[in-house]
């Protein structure tokens, strides 16, 4: 197939592109960054906001994977930052869907990123794809993001919305920001440490994206390993993987002072996510054990 990946040069997109290419697909990258000399895939420049700038690349595509979006962390969420987060996700998705509407031959499937932030802070409750959305900025963002992607179904496109948890790899994401503190003997749980952390190995996420492209799964799909960990257990596992102690936690009050709203919606929120739809569609996670996943992520 010809697969168009929006955001294909990023932390997740580069892994997804490699997974698709190894399966024999033609990969075309849509990116706001200028194409690099010697890039392994054909790249098309787009502004992330307008259908006109991605229409040419979309022609003839059998599938679209949309991973575009500015990083949610680190930093505080001021009004300008929130506006950028919405535009880079919802705006980009609307542009792709409009390009799909205009296409002379439409793709069969749109696999669109979303986030476990959809569920909000849910304590010890198990969260399945049918669970209701929570409240807060991230919940509203995920709802708008998914709604924009769902519009493609009106044009006969199968839509998959991947609610992605913490992606484990030392090259990026939350783990890359945690590693220096733990290596400096400063790692530990956040707040009480009782909040649940949904995680997924980057290799598994790339494979799940490919699975969603080729298999008849549809709608929301939780992109998280079947065995979530509490923040305290995750911290101890990371400390073991790095050969460091796990003792210096950060109280919730300090996190709120440093990160504001983001502390409550990301660092302290509890999301005990279970990937029922992925497993039900036949997807097999390579890394279901956190210790094994962290060991692989640090290699």
Given this model, what pLDDT does residue 37 score?
72
Q: Strand ranges (DSSP E) for 68-157? A: 109-115, 126-127
CATH of the domain at 8: 3.40.50.720
**Within a domain: residue 251?**
no
Contact 68, 92 (CB under 8 A): yes
Cα gap 35→199, rounded to integer Å:
31
**Within a domain: residue 244?**
no
**Within a domain: residue 293?**
no
Beta-bridge mates of residue 229: 197
Average confidence (pLDDT) over 168-181: 95
**Within a domain: residue 236?**
no
Q: In which band, very low, low, confident or very high, does the pLDDT at 293 lie, cut at 50, 70 and 90? A: very high
SS (H, E, C) 170-193: CCCHHHHHHHHHHHCCCCCCECCC
Cα gap 54→45, rounded to integer Å:
8
Count of domains forming the chain: 1
Give the residue from 102, 34, 112, 127 showing the smallest Cα distance to 67.
112
Contact 248, 183 (CB under 8 A): no
**Within a domain: residue 288?**
no
Given this model, what pLDDT does residue 172 score?
94
Q: Which domain holds residue 6?
A: 2-168+198-225+273-283
**Within a domain: residue 193?**
no
The phi, psi pair for 142, rounded to 5°, reads -65, -40
**Within a domain: residue 74?**
yes
pLDDT digits (tens, 9 = 90+) for 241-290: 999 999 888 999 999 999 999 999 999 999 999 999 999 999 999 999 99
Contact 18, 3 (CB under 8 A): no
> Which tokens is 277 given?
């739809």
pLDDT digits (tens, 9 = 90+) for 177-215: 999 999 999 999 999 999 999 999 999 999 999 999 999
Mean pLDDT of the chain: 94
pTM: 0.95
pLDDT digits (tens, 9 = 90+) for 14-41: 999 999 999 899 999 998 877 777 778 8
**Within a domain: residue 52?**
yes
């Amino acid at each position: 197939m010809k697969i168009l990946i929006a955001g294909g040069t990023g932390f997740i997109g580069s892994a997804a592109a490699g997974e698709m290419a190894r399966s024999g697909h033609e990969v075309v990258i849509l990116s706001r960054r200028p194409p690099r000399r010697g890039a392994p895939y054909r790249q098309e420049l787009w502004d992330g906001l307008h259908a006109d700038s991605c229409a040419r690349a979309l022609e003839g595509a059998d599938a679209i994977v949309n991973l575009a979006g500015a990083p949610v962390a680190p930093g505080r969420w001021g009004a300008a930052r929130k506006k950028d987060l919405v535009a880079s996700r919802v705006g980009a998705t609307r542009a792709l869907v409009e390009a799909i509407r205009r296409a002379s031959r439409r793709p069969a499937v749109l696999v669109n990123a979303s986030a476990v932030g959809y569920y909000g802070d849910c304590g010890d409750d198990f969260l399945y794809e049918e669970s209701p959305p929570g409240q807060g900025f991230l919940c509203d963002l995920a709802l708008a993001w998914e709604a924009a992607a769902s519009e493609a179904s009106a044009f006969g496109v199968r839509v998959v919305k991947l609610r992605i948890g913490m992606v484990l790899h030392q090259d990026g994401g939350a783990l890359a920001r945690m590693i220096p503190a733990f290596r400096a003997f400063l790692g530990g749980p956040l707040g009480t440490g009782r909040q649940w952390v949904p995680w997924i190995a980057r290799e598994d996420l790339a494979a799940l994206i490919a699975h969603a492209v080729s298999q008849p799964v549809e709608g929301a799909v939780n992109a998280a390993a079947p065995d979530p960990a509490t923040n305290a257990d995750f911290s101890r596992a990371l400390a073991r993987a790095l050969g460091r102690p796990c003792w210096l936690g950060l109280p919730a009050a300090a996190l709120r002072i440093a990160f504001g709203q983001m502390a409550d919606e990301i660092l302290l929120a509890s999301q005990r996510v279970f990937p029922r739809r992925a497993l039900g569609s036949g997807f097999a996670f390579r890394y279901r054990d956190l210790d094994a996943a962290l060991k692989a992520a640090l290699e």
